[in-house]
Structures are given as structure tokens and as C-alpha cells.
A and B are shown apart, each in its own frame.
Chain A
């Protein structure tokens, strides 16, 4: 661990997950999950709500720890890193929170500038230009002086996106970047993610429910359900690969292997219809 000897097989894989098992509140979120996220590609992770997509991203960034299994990011075992090393790792990882998580103390400009101010000693002019460039990319340069509470949900997402990419990290994790975006903004964001990936070679992990959007930019799709990767493949063809998982998920059917409901006891019993409770 002290000597970062990187396995040669790492070349094509940026994030390698092996046997990941996590139980939260008695519910098995991951069940011996194996996953490889290729370097320099856009990988989409899809799956039903509550299946653990956000939790998976938190595992990758070391915010949560698994009960068993390992996660290697760029060859380093996340769970085994000291806090300094973990923070060093995170400096190279952008993260778009599902609920924006802008710092309410600061205006839009300072929010985007925050990582730069914390980790660099760049001159003010340079910070200004970098921030304005990123804000321009998400179409919010004019909103630089607004406070987070003055933004709409979609605007806040785009600011959070600008903040996640301001450092030009080697890996960006997007947790549902398309939620609440109008078609125009959606297209802009799609283009942005693709540009970042193509021109800078940034590895992107995209959690999203929107197949249409995913199909436009993702190189690879993984379908997560019941703590496992149940299907993966090319986004254009995955919907018709014939497996019952993909058929149900992309077809939106209620019946199938994917449980729609959170595990619960018998419905009638809980409502008190089936005899006396207790």
C-alpha cells in the first residue's frame, strides 16, 4: 500500500471493483459486485431507484466504505488510503451531487471558484477566467453574482456541473446530471460532457435514468439491480439484448426480476385486514 505498485492490467481500467458487498440497515445494497470502468470512456450506470447508484459513487470516492470487497481507483485501494492520500485522490475526481450541494455562503462565481481557491495559488485573474469559462460552458456566465438560493433547480445543477469540472479532473462522477434540465440546456450539458471526454480524455461515470440521453453520449451502459450488474453493453443495443432485466427496465414493465417495491411485509397484514395484529 505504501508503495503504489500499479497492476499492469490497470491500463484500460480506471476504476476496478471486486466483490463489493455492502449492507445498510439490514438491506443488502451490493452483493459481491464486480465492475470495471474503462479509462477515457463515458460509462453510464442505470438502474431502478434505490438500487444503490448514488451509494456506489460514494464508495468510489471513499465517502462510504464497503463491508467486503475492494475498489481500486487508478490502481490505489480507496479503503486503504490515509486521509491525506484520499484527499489527494479526490482532487483528481469531480463529483456532481444529485442535489447540487452548492455552498450557500457563496455566490455562483465563488462556488465554482471554490476548488481552485482551496487547492491552487493561481492569480485572481486566472481564476476569474477559468470560472467564467466554465460558467459560459453551462450557459450561466450572466448568473455569476447570484446566490444559490436565487437559482432554479436546473440552474443549480448546471452550476454544480461547472464546479465539478472546473479542475479538469481525470474522473468525473455525474449523479443524475440531466434531472430538471429543459431540452435546450440538456443538449448543452450533453455536448459539454462529450467535449470534456473527447478533448481532454476525461473518464466519465454517468448515473442517469434517461436512456435517450445516455444513448447519445455513453460508450458503455451497465444496468445495476439487486446489488449486481445484471446487464451491460452498448447503449444503442442494450435495450433489445433479450435479457429479462433489460426488457423490464427499458420497457417499464411492472412484472419481471426487478422489484418495484422496497422490501416490506405482507400488505394486507400491515393494513390490519388479515386478522388481529399481534
Chain B
């Protein structure tokens, strides 16, 4: 469909056309949700692939982000004798910004590319046509379960990421640098608010990012020319478009939620 579009050199019009097609694709996806309920098992399977299989990288990265953040903050805050606030700053910056954003970027790299490549190859090898021929709607069977899985997996992954970051911060701050354990927690619990930081920060943001990343990944997979080159380009585009979308959306959400 997109191959027949007249080729335009203008990057702006091309991007706008992509966004427009992506929006239409989202409507198709959403319309297919009721039909995809019968493929619940497929959604579970995708949740395993995009969620559970991403756990390792998310946990390791979360741990290191928390550790390095604590290390940096400790040295800056020690100038003002405010090292006891570092646990709180780690928690706030991870919950509000780093957690959702870094998780989403990792998710785009780990799961988004896999989704795009998989769907692109399924199209290249006629698997999508085969499904249509077996009277199985590929949107309901392939696209929507992956979209839903991404939507569900992102907030959960983000929670794991944040928990690991706090753990990493605790490890460095309390175990290595000798910040008092109680101070660490008391500062954190005094400032971190469930509504603004955890619901609006961790959950809402990551839910939005999960929707955007998995939409882009599925869209790219379904619209790329079904060739090995097309799949390669689409995979790259998934990462680029997702990263831009995540950061832009992050700004908008922060402006609205703060």
C-alpha cells in the first residue's frame, strides 16, 4: 500500500505520511481487539517474548543506572553536606524520568526490533498470507496480541527497572558509601508520592511509551516491503522512530503531569 504512494523526497511530508498511516493502523489495531480476545493464548505467548525475555536486560540496566546515579549524586551532594538526600534524588529521578524513558528505549531495542523483524519476515515468507488463507485475521492474530503484550509488559518492566535502580542506589549509597540505611529510606519515603511519582511517573508514562513503541514496531513490520532489505530498514526505523517518539512524548507528558 505504502509502496504505491508517490515517492516524495521531502522528509517532512514523508514523516507526516508515516504518522498518518501509523494513526490509521492504530485504529485498525484497536478495532481488532475484540476479535483478538480469542487469541488470548497468543497474547500470553507474546507477553512472554516481549516481557519476560526482556527481564534480564531491564534488571541489569536498572541496577547499574541506580548505582551510577547514586555515585554521581553522592559526590555532588557531598559538596553541600547533603549526601543523605541522594537516595531520595535517585528515587525521584528514576521514577519520574529515567525509569520510564530508559526502559522504553531498551524495550524498543530489545522487543521492538524483534517484533518488526519477525512480522516483516512473516510477510516475506507468505506466512501472513497463509494465515489469511486459513481464515485467521493477521491483524487480530499477529498485530494486536503483540501490541497488547507491549502495552502490558512496559509498565511491569518499568516497575522492575525502578525497583532494581533503588536497589542499586541502596547498594552503592548504603553499603559502599556509608549513608545511613534509615536516612536513605526516610528521605525517600518522605518525598516520593504514590500519585505523582509512581502512578503518573512510572505507570502512566511507561504505559504511553509501551503503546507507542509497540505500535511503531508492529506498524513497521506490517508496512515494510517484504524483502530482507525492507526488513532491515524497518528494524532500524523502529528504533529511530521509537526513540524520537519516546523522548518527545516524555516532554509532553512531563509538561502535562507535573
- A contact residues vs B (CB 8 Å cutoff): 61, 63, 83, 87-88, 90-91, 93, 95, 97, 99, 101-104, 114-115, 118-119, 163
Task: Kindly state the separation between the CA atoms of A101 and B126 in the bound complex, as whole angstroms.
Answer: 5
Q: Are A118 and B136 CB-contacts (below 8 A) given A99-B125, A101-B125, A104-B125? A: yes
Report the minimal beta-carbon distance from B53 to chain A, rounded to whole angstroms.
14
Question: B133 contacts which chain A residues (CB < 8 A)?
Answer: 61, 63, 90, 93, 95, 97
Select B130's contact among A93, A97, A119, beta carbons within 8 Å. Answer: A97
Nearest residue, chain B, Cβ from A88 = B135
Task: Kindly state the separation between the CA atoms of A104 and B126 in the bound complex, as whole angstroms.
Answer: 11
Cβ A104 vs Cβ B132 within 8 A: no
Cβ B135 vs Cβ A87 within 8 A: yes
Nearest residue, chain B, Cβ from A87 = B135
How many A-B pairs fall under 8 Å by CB?
49
Cβ A103 vs Cβ B132 within 8 A: no
Asked if B137 CB lies within 8 Å of chain A CBs, one says: yes
- B contact residues vs A (CB 8 Å cutoff): 121-122, 125-127, 129-137, 141
Nearest residue, chain B, Cβ from A90 = B135
Q: Given contact pairs A63-B129, A103-B131, A119-B135, enumerate 4 new A-B contacts (beta carbons under 8 Å).
A: A63-B133, A90-B132, A101-B127, A102-B127
Task: Kindly state the separation between the CA atoms of A88 and B137 in the bound complex, as whole angstroms.
Answer: 11
Select B126's contact among A97, A114, A115, beta carbons within 8 Å. Answer: A97
Task: Kindly state the separation between the CA atoms of A101 and B122 in the bound complex, as whole angstroms.
Answer: 9
Closest 5 CB pairs of A and B: A101-B126, A101-B130, A90-B135, A87-B135, A95-B133
Task: Kindly state the separation between the CA atoms of A208 and B67 in the bound complex, as whole angstroms.
Answer: 65
Report the minimal beta-carbon distance from A177 to chain B, rounded to whole angstroms.
15
Question: B136 contacts which chain A residues (CB < 8 A)?
Answer: 114-115, 118
Nearest residue, chain B, Cβ from A91 = B135
Task: Kindly state the separation between the CA atoms of A90 and B129 in the bound complex, as whole angstroms.
Answer: 12
Question: A87 contacts which chain B residues (CB < 8 A)?
Answer: 135, 137
Report the minimal beta-carbon distance from A130 to chain B, rounded to whole angstroms.
15
Question: B141 contacts which chain A residues (CB < 8 A)?
Answer: 118
Nearest residue, chain B, Cβ from A166 = B134
Task: Kindly state the separation between the CA atoms of A21 and B126 in the bound complex, as whole angstroms.
Answer: 24
Cβ A118 vs Cβ B126 within 8 A: no
Report the minimal beta-carbon distance from A98 to chain B, rounded to whole angstroms.
8
Report the minimal beta-carbon distance from B168 to chain A, rounded to whole angstroms.
36
Task: Kindly state the separation between the CA atoms of A96 and B218 in the bound complex, as whole angstroms.
Answer: 27
Task: Kindly state the separation between the CA atoms of A99 and B133 in the bound complex, as whole angstroms.
Answer: 14
Task: Kindly state the separation between the CA atoms of A114 and B136 in the bound complex, as whole angstroms.
Answer: 10
